[in-house]
Structure 1
């Protein structure tokens, strides 16, 4: 029995020694790569907001306290529809004062005319001098000027009374309503934002150093592409974001998009400098030494410094002396080290 156990043990040792060692596995990480391409332009994708072509604040033309608010934000209104009313009591007092002044000035003018006629008769009979007649004539002209001023003040008071009612300037949509009953507002202070019916535009903001394209396209929620054309662009950069504001009108759109809707826009943008390349955003690495990308050379990752000239939501435009069709690492760059062996997984 002992001999059998020894024989079996020796057999197991011999078999174990005769087996070939297991091959070692390559532990180099996989990286996703892409062949970089140079070109004359890029497709820039930006977010735009649908606006009305005519969009303006609505305000009273006179100061006063809001008495009634007859509309809400989001309502569609017709031209001339009443939106707000002010308390008319202040203007009513102004109207009574203007009417009284107008009546008084008219009476003074009538008296001055009668006096001028009487003095003219006395002058014709030789009872008064020409100088005295001239003073009477001057008094009449002063009374007439006062009467004209009183009539103008009365007209202003009547207009102010009409201005106590704020009406819609045309057919359109109220985007926002801020005025509330009891609020005291100054003349010209906005109480609502009004979007006139009609043409719709897409508002887009571009980086400060790039030219604003004349043409582009929007991508609808259904995935359809519709052309847009530049309508206007701001004469100066936005003070807060330092970007260029531009508006594009819809060309042949089947249906007008809702105001305030967010639209995806695309533009063909020319290269801003020579030797520029378009790469995915994931290819950029900025770990403390400025922007750079990672290339694969002889199976190893090597960094390459670059200058970023333009960023979009998905891609970046860089300036670098990199040959076309070079393998560029586009995913996982934050884990790489110079000279690290990698395995390529091409897109």
Structure 2
């Protein structure tokens, strides 16, 4: 009897429990987080050329006379001012030459006084008809020859005086010593480069362009410059100068890239990369993990900034890069794209946008996100 009552009571209690569960409200669906990003410029479709930050003006300094270097007053990296002494030659030879020219000048001037007095005396005698005209003309010519000799010797003395000053090599303008090619005790020829000076002022990036693609580049073409010390920032620039001939060893063409906006924190000798776009156009790009496909049709999930719901957006892509894929059609720079996990998402699903550090992102239509700490 007890067993029969228990068997009847258990189904009844289960029915009551099921009814109670059926009358409860359905559990709320949790909004899942989704890491979002905005499309960036597709660096993979830009040619990158390594370069070095250089001064726009780099004069090569050399002695104007030959001689033996007796003093080297600066080294590479030294900051110098205009007319500052950089090196000196042995002045003994130029000083002796200067003294020789000074003695010749003194002799020429003494001779000029003598022939002048002789000319004046013949001029007086000619007026009294005591000498012939030919004798006076001879004295006059001797005087003119003496005067010309003084001019010649004085010019030679001035040249020797200048050469005495050329024994000291001075900076043509303020800047930094970029290269040094002489040392104390070395005998140099006139015009042989002793120092290369990086003049103060504008900075540029020197790059080498490949021979096979040289025709794609032109002076004035817009580029982007990335400094090694600031890898996340690119500065606008333009090609200012291109060499008309290739280097005989590397078979590349040297080019100079100038910055076009404001003051750029570029220091001499820094490494840099110059990005040059194909055909002057740079498409957008998204991370590889953001791309999905259905029946060989690629798409990405775009988040609506109004209600954070997802929309499947078909795109046309370019060649895959190492970390990103270029988007040729289908996206705008202001769109917000789910960066990963697209295979578990669905159309119209609401998500909670977060960044790579799992911070909530306030979706906007600007190029920069607003992050809630």
Would the TM-score normalized by the shorter structure come out above 0.5? yes
Equivalent in the alignment of 2:222: 215
User: Of 49, 53, 77, which aligns to 1:50?
Assistant: 53
Equivalent residue pairs, number = 237
TM-score using structure 1 length: 0.64
1:228-280 deviation digits (Å, cap 9, x = unpaired): 11221222222322222211111225433121222111111339xxxxxxxxx
- The answer (yes or no) to whether the contact 1:85–1:164 under 8 Å persists in 2 is yes
Alignment CA distance shift 1:63-1:174 (3 Å): same
The secondary structure found in structure 1 opposite 2:273 is: strand
- The answer (yes or no) to whether the contact 1:57–1:190 under 8 Å persists in 2 is yes
Structure 1 residue 217: deviation in Å? 0.4
The secondary structure found in structure 2 opposite 1:210 is: helix
What runs of 5+ residues in structure 1 fail to find an aligned partner?
A: 1-40, 272-323, 331-347
Query: Does the alignment pair 1:88 with 2:91?
Result: yes
Alignment CA distance shift 1:327-1:231 (3 Å): closer
User: Of 248, 256, 260, which aligns to 1:247?
Assistant: 256
Q: Distance in 2 between matches of 1:89 and 1:67?
A: 11
The secondary structure found in structure 2 opposite 1:62 is: coil
Equivalent in the alignment of 1:62: 65
Equivalent in the alignment of 1:266: 275
Query: Does the alignment pair 1:160 with 2:167?
Result: no
Q: Distance in 1 between matches of 2:319 and 2:109?
A: 94
- The answer (yes or no) to whether the contact 1:77–1:171 under 8 Å persists in 2 is yes
Equivalent in the alignment of 1:307: none
Equivalent in the alignment of 2:74: 71
1:173-192 deviation digits (Å, cap 9, x = unpaired): 01122221111111111111
Equivalent in the alignment of 1:170: 173
Structure 1: 4+ residue segments shifted above 6 A: 324-328
Structure 1 residue 42: deviation in Å? 4.5
Equivalent in the alignment of 2:28: none
Q: Which has the higher contact order (CA 8 A, sep 6+)?
A: 1
Alignment CA distance shift 1:63-1:129 (3 Å): same
Query: Does the alignment pair 1:182 with 2:191?
Result: no
Query: Does the alignment pair 1:138 with 2:141?
Result: yes
- The answer (yes or no) to whether the contact 1:79–1:171 under 8 Å persists in 2 is yes
The secondary structure found in structure 2 opposite 1:155 is: helix
The secondary structure found in structure 2 opposite 1:237 is: coil
1:300-319 deviation digits (Å, cap 9, x = unpaired): xxxxxxxxxxxxxxxxxxxx
The secondary structure found in structure 2 opposite 1:170 is: coil
Q: Distance in 2 between matches of 1:176 and 1:207?
A: 26
Q: Distance in 1 between matches of 2:178 and 2:122?
A: 67
- The answer (yes or no) to whether the contact 1:200–1:256 under 8 Å persists in 2 is no
Q: Distance in 2 between matches of 1:201 and 1:75?
A: 20
Equivalent in the alignment of 2:337: none
Query: Does the alignment pair 1:199 with 2:206?
Result: no
Q: Distance in 2 between matches of 1:325 and 1:174?
A: 49
Equivalent in the alignment of 1:118: 121
The secondary structure found in structure 2 opposite 1:188 is: coil
TM-score using structure 2 length: 0.60
